[in-house]
A and B are shown apart, each in its own frame.
Chain A
């Protein structure tokens, strides 16, 4: 027996060494280095050693000192907040709905439907963004279909329309400017602008995001549904439970771990939206599709402010941790 288990210590570390070196150099060391850089003034162009210490200035630029940068950071937070609040519930609901329908007994063509719904999830984000630029173009499919369905001609310039949805709604009932109470500012952005809702342009990106991710989450729900024992449902229906009761009392509680996972992955993913913004709108129009992820890129790689970009990254990390933490608390309380 000792022959079998001998020398495992050496072998273990040898087997692990490529992973340890790789993760160390490209995951752990970078994070430590970036934390250091977030407290320095560095353009990214000069050698790192030549950078000047900056104290907490990079964080102050984002959070406490009044500046254009803080205004942009505020806009990016507002935009991404609406993005998360729109996309996460939409993709979770649609994924769950599709999973329930695809999971139905005696369904013909199950594999086909599952494949069709999942396919967008595996494709290139840039290719799909291009396809959606075309769909949302002024003479594109979306406007054409809406014109056919709605009274009157719809000719929205989706990707270049900075009007917020909540502002548009208020305009429809005659409120066109900020009431006195909302004239104040928070982080260089007026309360009225905080409450704009997602812009029309951002809504197009949100529709794209929902369209691409729903399939993946549907597969997770499907896997969860297959873990619901059939005997349990049969027993419940023999005991006289209605389909509605079976759904709310048996299926839904058993799917809670899956729901938890889908929400967590959804929140983590939506706070990092970048590729689609880069390809579709570059943060515009009027900065209404600016997201923290895009701001990291803009500040670090276009405006040569690497220290600030690193600081944004750590703020985003904290936001993601807070959001997933809150979601965990809420779901646990319900249990």
Chain B
């Protein structure tokens, strides 16, 4: 028994190192000088703190601009998702109207379309709407998300009906009951949706690549990051400290949200796992 327990903890600690050490190493590397990186690439502790990479990223690149763009796009797309998904989820779960079944089936089938298949199609539509190289073109497609509608519907299906029916009997309109009674009860689900959306949009790479590639003033963090520290071809001339500083800065906001709201992340994955 003692042996088995030692084995178990050994395994867990080994994997924890495998999953966490790369982040610590990249943090440490961002404070190293390039010559030091060339000779010492394993220790997370820099021999002397060199702030060159950080000033390169924060002062001599467009990183602040990319961060600003990312915040704009993430906030706008997330607000859009929360608004659209909660309304639609509520209608699908609670309101009786003709066509509901068809709409729900439609949303499930849209959910099954792999995003990569949408690369060319979305470019086409945004081009036809003259929305390429604009915030709007970046935000609108990300604000629509079938997964969120599905999540909200599942939540509303399980919510007890009594309170909103009481409100309706007291004379509230459907929208008033929704706004004043249902939404406050839906806070946990809305928070989950917000967090998932924040994480997804913040990390989104494909959309900025297709939509704003030609307009550097609209680049978001992941796309801007992908251009950092890559002097010349062949991989020998990568500026690792700069790449690591940029990576760490891009990860930090999600890491903070993740640590604070960990259980919401876990719950959302777990529920998708159970309900499948």
Interface residues of A (CB under 8 A from B): 3-5, 7-13, 15-16, 18-20, 22-23, 25-31, 33-34, 37, 44, 48, 98, 101-102, 104, 107, 109, 111-120, 122-128, 130-135, 137, 139-141, 144-145, 157, 159-160, 211, 215-216, 219-224, 227, 257-258, 260-262, 268, 271-272, 274-275, 278-279, 293, 296-297, 300-301, 306, 309-310, 313-314, 316-317, 320
Whether A293 and B19, one on each chain, are in contact in the complex, defined by CB atoms closer than 8 angstroms, is: no
Partner of A37, one of B22, B117, B124: B124
Whether A20 and B22, one on each chain, are in contact in the complex, defined by CB atoms closer than 8 angstroms, is: no
**Is B6 interfacial (CB 8 A cutoff)?**
no
Which residues from chain A contact B186 at a C-beta distance below 8 Å? Answer: none
Query: On chain B, which size bracket covers the interface?
Result: 35 or more
Q: How far is the CA of A124 from the CA of B222 in the complex (A)?
A: 7
The A contact surface, by secondary structure, is: helix
Whether B116 and A316, one on each chain, are in contact in the complex, defined by CB atoms closer than 8 angstroms, is: yes
Q: Provided the pairs A8-B97, A160-B234 are in contact, do residues A219 and B273 lie with their beta carbons within 8 angstroms?
A: yes
Residues B206-247 near A (CB distance < 8 A): 206, 209-210, 213, 221-223, 225-226, 229, 234-235, 238, 240, 243-244, 246-247
Residues B117-168 near A (CB distance < 8 A): 117-125, 127-128, 140-141, 143-144, 146, 149, 165, 168
Which residues from chain B contact A26 at a C-beta distance below 8 Å? Answer: 122, 125, 140-141, 144
Q: How far is the CA of A84 from the CA of B100 in the complex (A)?
A: 37
Whether A15 and B19, one on each chain, are in contact in the complex, defined by CB atoms closer than 8 angstroms, is: no
Most chain A Cβ neighbours within 10 Å, of B95, B106, B169: B95
Which residues from chain B contact A145 at a C-beta distance below 8 Å? Answer: 42
Which residues from chain A contact B254 at a C-beta distance below 8 Å? Answer: 122-124
Most chain A Cβ neighbours within 10 Å, of B119, B128, B140, B222: B119
Most chain B Cβ neighbours within 10 Å, of A12, A112, A145, A278: A12
Contact with A along B251-276 (1 / 0, CB 8 A): 10011001100100110011111101
* CB of A151 to closest CB in B, whole Å: 19
* CB of A258 to closest CB in B, whole Å: 6
Whether B91 and A16, one on each chain, are in contact in the complex, defined by CB atoms closer than 8 angstroms, is: yes
Whether B114 and A272, one on each chain, are in contact in the complex, defined by CB atoms closer than 8 angstroms, is: yes
**Is B69 interfacial (CB 8 A cutoff)?**
no
